[in-house]
Amino acid sequence: MNLDDIVAISGLPGLYRLAANRSNGLIVEELETGKRRFASARKHNFTPLGSIGIYLTDGDTKPLPEVFQNMLDQYADNPPVDPGSPQEELFEYFEDVLPLYDPERVYPRDVKKIIQWFIYLKEKGLLEGGDEEE
């Protein structure tokens, strides 16, 4: 599962695929429509999903692709909760997926966003094939 070309962009909803890199920003492609647009580096921050890590209680971090793989592995027995669920349900689900996450440094908005991204990427078929790398 390679999420390095999937990018979250501050100030823009959703996720985008990196199409091209320019000195003053990125050309990104909307995953939903395939439409390309320019996102200025002056106005936006870019975060490749492959570079995101979740804080653990031992002081280390777990890469987001590995968290998504845990969610995929448990999908049949433990499907994701609705991202709009109460905070307690979000954290209960996330603790099943990643028992060692640091509750003091992982916020409800982070868990909600991870679940939203997972559901969206799974619907688009972008999380399939993760077992082949292991």
**pLDDT above 80 (res 133):** no
Strand partners, 29: 17, 36
pTM > 0.85: yes or no: yes
Task: Please state, in angstroms and rounded to a whole number, the distance separating the CA atoms of residues 81 and 114.
Answer: 11
CATH topology assigned to domain 6-48 = SH3 type barrels. (2.30.30)
Q: Span 27-43, mean pLDDT? A: 94
Burial (Cβ within 10 Å: 0-12, 13-18, ≥19) of residue 23: exposed
The domain limits of the chain are 6-48, 52-133
For position 1, what pLDDT does the model report? 63
For position 78, what pLDDT does the model report? 92
DSSP class of residue 106 equals S
- Residue 58's Cα: distance from chain center in Å? 22
CATH topology assigned to domain 52-133 = Arc Repressor Mutant, subunit A (1.10.10)
6-48 and 52-133: identical CATH topology: no
